[in-house]
Amino acid sequence: MKSIISAAVRSRKVTLFFAFIFTVVGLFSYHIVPKQENPDVSAPAAIITTIYPGASAADINTLVSQKIEDNITDIEGFDHTETTSKKGVSNIIVILDLDADEEKAWDELKDRLNEVKHELPDGCLEPYLNTDLAETAGIIISLSGENYTYEQLGSYADDFKKALSKVDGVASFDIDGEIEKEVKVTVNMEKLNQYNLSLEDIMNVLKSQNIEIPSGSIEYENGKIDVLTPGNFTSLKDIENTIVSRSKENGSVIRLGDLANIYMDLDDGAEIFKQDGKNTVLITGYFDEGKNVVLIGKEVRSRLEKIKKRFPEDLIINEVLFQPEDIDESITSFIENLIQSVICVVVVVFIGIGFRNAVVVSMAIPMSMLLTFNMMKLFNIKIHFMSTAGLIIALGMLVDNAIVVSDAIQVNLDDGMDKFDAIVDGTSRSTIPMFTSTLTTIAAFLPLMFIPGAPGQFTGDIPKIVIITLLNSFLIAIVVTPAMAYLTFKPNNKQKVEKRSVIRSFFENLLDLSLRNKKKSLLTVFIVFIISMRLAGATGVQLFPFAEKDFMYIDITSEVSGDIDATEKLVEKVEHILKEQPEVKKSTSSIGNGLPKFYMSLQPSSPSKDFAQMMIRFDVGKKGRFKTKEELAVYLQEELDTSISNGTAVVRLLESGAPLGHPVKIRVVGEEYDQIRKDVQLIEKELEKIPGTMNIENDGTDKKLVYSIDSNSDLLRKYGLSKYDIQKQINIALEGTKASTYRKAGNEYDIIVESDIKTFKQLENLKIKSTALGNKILLKQFADVKLGTQLDSIGSYNGDMNILVTCDVKPGYSSIDIENIMEKKIPEINLVNDIVFDGERESIKDSFGDMGILFILIVVLIYSILLVQFNSFFKPIMILITIPLSLIGCFWGLFIANKPMSFMVVLGIISLAGIVVNNAILLIEYINEARREGFSIDEACKDAVSKRFRPIILTTTTTVIGLIPLVFSGNALFDSMSVALMSGLLISTILTMIVIPTIYSLVNKKKEKNIDEEKMKEVEVE
């Protein structure tokens, strides 16, 4: 190592040249490294949609959902399924593990679906698989206008799509809300009953009359001439004039137009989108993986502005989401925090060690960071707020090694050594302690890379960045810093060397007092530690705070199941309430399904005509009514609860980190739906009694009224009617069925045959035609139509029937306390079914439990490194005492700042283990060195603290000062962690310089006493 340092100093021009080159390359790397706002922690998800026309929810659950679930649970990477079985349709959401091989898993899932489709009942359509649920949109643009039809808006959207899709880095654009038109053939059943025709006959006629079969060609000597026999409908008039029968009375032909109203209309069941209450079409864009979204966004923005000029002024073009600019703003904010931290650290360094030395030490900061950007490009680590936070955390430690080296060099120079020898000697003597300190810090961060699940994936870049940056700083300290020191360092005058500060004098006096009262001092620290441990979690516990975004969303559910018109009216009522709130700027709604995924933690939703989702943009500071977004969300929820009676509207804030959904979740699992429902009602009543609960709801449904057709088997045989005849013809009459396709001007429109039946009496008077005999019989002649009840929806989790009870928590209350209270009440309310708690409390237990295991591993790693360095079992234990000392500062800091214990705080506390031991390592090294020089134990302790005072205080101050911008950044994700790191490091440093020497003195004096006693015994024996 000494030879490398010597070579770097001798060839300092070469050393500094290559340092400059790597720095410039780092600037380029920063420019091209992919950027995004958040680490993506979305678990791979897909939805399997299977349609079984006319089947009840119970039949769908048994005949479709369960069969599919049983066949897919063992695919590679499978985590769980969430299933909703509704009338006529099964929706199964498949969630994979975070580290699953998506492509392989989805291919296997497709194979399984191909196998299981043969087990599904006749009449059931093939399962449809959509694997794009987890992909987060990069751009969402809405097109709306009072004077435009959906068709016109869709046409403009196509123009947008064509222009923007050409941008390099754009993966795809989807158009949502482009409601298709269809040809409606609404049959008058009173007229149809007069003829020996059924709705199925009309469908068959339309199929046979709207067909294109190749006719062939006629060969001639010179070639062939094709024969064309046009058979497709060319206009609605063609459909109206289609002959469907002939009158038996007078032989006149009966045309379809005589029996039905034929017209173009919008698809009744299509998903509807609204922008600020107006009908809209959404254009949703997705970016290529691994590209710099910010740069791509600038090109998209340029083209977008050009396209806007081509469209009419009354066409309203609204940017619902533009991630490139959000990402740029987020990263810019964090880079500003980083620059502020750099300035703070540099100022501290200049104050602490003087101008010349400070210039050299400070250069370690930009060089280490820019080298880190090179490594980020190499290891495909993206720039987002987590990786930037990693740089800020590492910032204060970047100068530690350079300070240690510069201090050792300066001491040698002040002692009169030759400059070259002083630099080489000072650097080489510091290398081993520095390397050990770097290794212990790396040992604290390395296991954090292996935190399992979404929390680990969310925070995984922090330890990577810290480790890379620290290794860079070590390399710079032993190669670049000595080379620069040769050019700038000079011996200090004696007066400056011997100058003592008030703070140093205070510490020396405090240490002297502690060494004279060792046991009392250690007992005092121990009592303070016990008190501090009782403060852990006193200010609350949470997994992750809400995201710092200016938009939230509302999940809306109509109580009228399967009626999209009723859901649309409910959405309009919510929009009206929101328009009265000055804080709400814009709203975008999707009716019949969730919006395109506009944030990484947004969970997938199943399509349903009674469900809608609304995203709202807000300015929480407008009018000054609310201080936080949480207060605004609670207020909006109260307003909606007061005003809405025909459904529910639940206000939700976006989550940081691992998506949880509701903080309180209680899953009721059983086999009898009615009994599950009763248990759910009991649980909800108890939740209502617990302070702090809000938005108590469940995903179960009540039974709804249905008309049940009870056919007489004897009469069916008499009239030659089959069950197929009855079900098929009633299905066409009430649901409508596609008969054929109408093509015009390059567009295709479904031809839908339906009836005009609107009442119970009309249904009874429907005539069913026998396929076998050809006769028609009134429904009421062979069947009783009775009013009954039936389940509209059945939910299951991993194949088990269940209802999920959820509730949100008001600000100032804890989801953990609520679940704990509820868990104690469960035995008292005599529930029949199994109860599974699945909320934030369980996620915290899992995550904090994993962190506890990693913490033990970290301590073992640090101990192993120290054992190798000191070749002692006890000295590493002495050094590790600094870890509990840091906890004193952490818990008092959180308590005073009123910050909750969170996943990020625990991450910070664990990472402190590798930082706080560094000061103790250096102290022990210098105490041992003083002992070798002949100092007594207490004098050696005082000498070590005196010599290491300046670098210890300086390195601690730089780390603490570097974190200050994070505390005041306003980002709830990092301010608690920063407080814990700052207070823990500060208190640990203060106590380390007192406690470690005191313990060292106490233990070693006892050893010396034992040795002296042994010698006395030997003398007495002689």
Confidence of residue 786 (pLDDT cuts 50, 70, 90): confident
Residues 653 and 633: beta-carbon distance below 8 Å:
yes
Alpha-carbon gap, residue 633 to 610, rounded angstroms:
23
**Residue with more model confidence, 561 or 318:** 318
Given this model, what pLDDT does residue 152 score?
86
Which tokens in the block code for residue 252? 């006149």
Residue 725: pLDDT over 70: yes
CA angle 390, 395, 397 (to 5 degrees): 110
Percent of the chain predicted with pLDDT > 90: 30
Q: Which of 609, 699, 613 is nearest to 654 (CA)?
A: 613
Within a 10 A sphere around the Cβ of 568, how many other Cβ atoms?
17
Residue 451: pLDDT over 90: no
Which region, left, alpha or beta, applies to residue 338 given φ > 0 means left and ψ of -120 to 50 means alpha? alpha
The conformation of residue 541, written as its DSSP 8-state character, comes to: B
Alpha-carbon gap, residue 662 to 665, rounded angstroms:
6
In sequence order, what are the residues at sequence separation of 6 or more whose Cβ sits closer than 8 angstroms to the Cβ of residue 527? none
Residue 261: pLDDT over 90: yes
The sign of the dihedral angle between the CA atoms of 977, 979, 980, 985 is positive
Which tokens in the block code for residue 283? 């254009």
**Distance from CA of residue 935 to its chain's centroid?**
58
Alpha-carbon gap, residue 637 to 993, rounded angstroms:
53
In sequence order, what are the residues at sequence separation of 6 or more whose Cβ sits closer than 8 angstroms to the Cβ of residue 712? 782, 783, 784
Within a 10 A sphere around the Cβ of 252, how many other Cβ atoms?
10
Alpha-carbon gap, residue 19 to 368, rounded angstroms:
10
Residue 760: pLDDT over 70: yes
Q: Which of 284, 371, 370 is nearest to 320 (CA)?
A: 284
Given this model, what pLDDT does residue 107 score?
92
For the chain, the residue count is 1022
Which tokens in the block code for residue 703? 């039974």
The sign of the dihedral angle between the CA atoms of 861, 864, 868, 872 is positive
Q: Report, as an integer, the average pLDDT of 402-431.
A: 86
Query: What are the φ and ψ backbone dihedral angles of 585, each rounded to 5 degrees?
Result: -95, -45
Confidence of residue 282 (pLDDT cuts 50, 70, 90): very high
Alpha-carbon gap, residue 40 to 460, rounded angstroms:
11
Instruction: Write the pLDDT tens digit of every residue in 393-405.
Output: 887 677 778 888 8
- Name the CA radius of gyration of the chain, rounded: 37
Query: What are the φ and ψ backbone dihedral angles of 268, each rounded to 5 degrees?
Result: -60, -40
3-state secondary structure 21-86: HHHHHHHHHHHHCCECCCCCCCCCEEEEEEECCCCCHHHHHHHHHHHHHHHHCCCCCEEEEEEEEE
The Cα-based distances of 473 to 68, 364, 476, 479, 890 in angstroms read 55, 6, 5, 10, 26
Residues 299 and 287: beta-carbon distance below 8 Å:
no
Name the residue type at position 778: L
Instruction: Write the pLDDT tens digit of every residue in 931-980.
Output: 888 888 888 888 888 877 877 888 788 888 888 887 887 777 788 888 99
The Cα-based distances of 428 to 117, 422, 435 in angstroms read 72, 10, 11
Q: Report, as an integer, the average pLDDT of 124-144.
A: 88
Which region, left, alpha or beta, applies to residue 584 given φ > 0 means left and ψ of -120 to 50 means alpha? beta
Among the ranges given (233-247, 296-310, 387-401, 464-478), the one the predictor scored with the smallest mean pLDDT = 387-401
Given this model, what pLDDT does residue 693 score?
92
Alpha-carbon gap, residue 132 to 45, rounded angstroms:
7
| DSSP states along 385-416 | HHHHHHHHHHHHHHHHHHHHHHHHHHHHHHTT
Instruction: Write the pLDDT tens digit of every residue in 381-393.
Output: 888 878 888 887 8
Q: Report, as an integer, the average pLDDT of 855-876.
A: 87
Q: Is the pTM of this model over 0.85?
A: no
Alpha-carbon gap, residue 488 to 483, rounded angstroms:
9
Residues 587 and 636: beta-carbon distance below 8 Å:
no
Residues 861 and 443: beta-carbon distance below 8 Å:
yes
Given this model, what pLDDT does residue 498 score?
46
Given this model, what pLDDT does residue 1018 score?
47
Q: Report, as an integer, the average pLDDT of 355-372.
A: 85
Residues 176 and 271: beta-carbon distance below 8 Å:
yes
Residue 108: pLDDT over 90: yes
